[in-house]
Amino acid sequence: MQTGLGGWTQQQFIAALRKGQHAGGGRPIAPPMPWAAVGQLTTDDLRAVWAYLRAQPAVSNAVPALVPPPARP
């Protein structure tokens, strides 16, 4: 089974980092992931990060469900 970015497209990866949403349209990506900063990279740079990540050997790692940060008082 593919886990992590294994089933994502490049478009989903870039949209996730630009919008702060899982796969570019799912649940919000929680802190401490600095998507608001990483998402400001140029499209060429994000494509390069994607190409690097996809060039790494795949691992299978089921990520546990999100634990949202506590509400601010």
Of 30, 36, 48, 51, the residue at the interface with ligand HEM (CB under 6 A) is: 30
- Choose between 32 and 57: whose C-beta lies nearer to ligand HEM: 32
Binding test (CB under 6 A) with ligand HEM, winner from 6, 7, 25, 34: 34
33 lies in the site for ligand HEM, by CB under 6 A: yes
Question: What is the Cα–Cα distance from 44 to 35, expressed in whole angstroms?
Answer: 16
**Cis upstream peptide for 28 (omega within 30°):** no
**Residue 66 binds ligand HEM (CB under 6 A):** yes
Nearest to 33 by CA among 50, 45, 16, 48: 16
